[in-house]
Structure 1
């Protein structure tokens, strides 16, 4: 597929000031020469005013064209970018013209895939492109930029560099015993493996943080009917999303919106009030509330502070979720009942006067921080694929340590280390066997 020349619209469909079309591949210049009236000399990385022409040579658009000469381009190939007028019809017509001139419609993600295949970025950086596009908070944006800059890939490569010399010593000892090459002492080998294991475990611990940054912390607002759950949702959103009514049972289905608090994306879920009900529709809403509570990252329990704690409908949460609960005493302007004095961590918050909202935001940040260090403190937050690969690496390193300590055959130790190396290669999308051979030959001068 790398021999094809591909084309695509790179901006969102719809009317806009401009639209951008991209062509990449070995025939990019030839395609552009047919679709546009080019100047006699096309200077790379310089914008040229050109006219887009149909098959009969008639102009139907004009704009700026840039040529990025490979390998110094995003994909590592010749790229043509045209910035034209942002109409739906003219943009679609130009794409059709590029395809008629010999380009193929690009598959989803194919430009970035080519960048990876041509060595312009590793697999973690390619994944970060979509993380950057989908970022919904400042912390998620920073984490995506760090990964796009190669933070995860550099750590994985550094871990490889720790492992390769160990494997080189072991395999040289296996394959060339006549050279009388002994491996490093067991203690020194264990120190290297421990260093890699520690790094892997540190990265694995950021996976929950990474999930929250990429997808948002699922935050369920729950409580009895008519305590102000929907009012709190509207207050956090900054606009009236949910219907607020003094009639109990107004909210019968879950309502979901995304906001950010201190740079953390939250998926706010307003739920039906928890109570005994004979209404079939309301009962379905209550069942959905219970399901949402089971998979919540954070629960904001809202109660009417002016009423005594009943204990009847207080939330019964799974142990994993119970530690991530914030109690909000709503309606404090009506007076806080003495019965709530047993809840010192509760936050008095008025949805009418908005007092206490900053205290709630700080509490949300503190609870979410228990998932791991936030991106402001730790720039790396791995995704689920990275986590699986680093977990395989950690498991294989652990097995290699055990084999080394029990003086098992070096073949078994080498097998475990190779699988750990493979897992790290899966993270960045490569496993360079030549690196192992280079270390063996350069370090031990075999055959000299």
Structure 2
């Protein structure tokens, strides 16, 4: 493993309304992912590190060299060609008049490597990126994915101290992107900063993740830790989780009259500001006026659901609702709800609930499932804000609290889902984690 440690604090005033002010560190040989919404400042950060954009304040240190230092970040700035940094973006920028081999060897030749040695090293790198026989071809004869592999080989063949990857997979089809992702993971042998919009890239390529929002670092840490405990709604969306802010009351999340039970993180006390985190697929959605004794809802987890009439999606009387995950969603009067996971979600009056785990939401007098009293903990009425198509169906975004629910396409028509429609939501305690609201890191 090669490369040098990076220690940077970059301040760039891009306009009167926007200033980028972030700190980024990477140990020698470490890959750090950078994510953030469009316009957050990710590409500005890479341009500043590479020397293609000046900084208004801060410093950039790579190994034992100060690339940019001094008051205002302007006292000393090393020219981009001498920083030992390579920036690889969405456009491979290959030289069309050179062969693939000469493209890869270009950086080596520019640094004084003899022609024969440079071509030998180029051949080695082409083999490493899966193109051992492409050396004599021209870039125009390659596919988009193959061109990106050549660009990667050219970047790494020069033995840079730091590689900056600015969404190199975004313009590729899923299969090609997956293949190149594997190549990048195997070939990266130096310090690297990878900007990406895809959580899979961060998980596959990086050890740590830095999230930038509105020009500031909103969260950072080991990739899996960040996704497991998202600190902002944006990070939650990256991780594919619902995240709602509230207050801990009686061991439950609470806000605006909605109560959600769940596993409470150690050290939290009543009155603490907290977030409830759970996957959209763990939320049951049904018509707001669904018959309580018939309990109906959309099985967002993807299991079989039958129409019980009155706009509800549920298992009918005498049917069995099963879940291989967090528990059965709902069952009508007299039905049996079985769970192979962490607990049954709910059952109507007189139902039988069996669970291999713990954490049932519960059913009984006073709960929604029993059709009397106030809403049960983990159940509430919300209004649809918008519908978002997904590969598996539709993601329904609701308000107060802002929760997303994954449902099959047929549920949209069956329940008449559209903006403004009231729906009943239910989530099981076994699917919910209640976490503290973490302070944003210092820039």
Which TM-score applies when normalising by structure 1? 0.31
Greater fraction of residues in strand: 2
Q: Which has the larger radius of gyration?
A: 1
Which TM-score applies when normalising by structure 2? 0.32
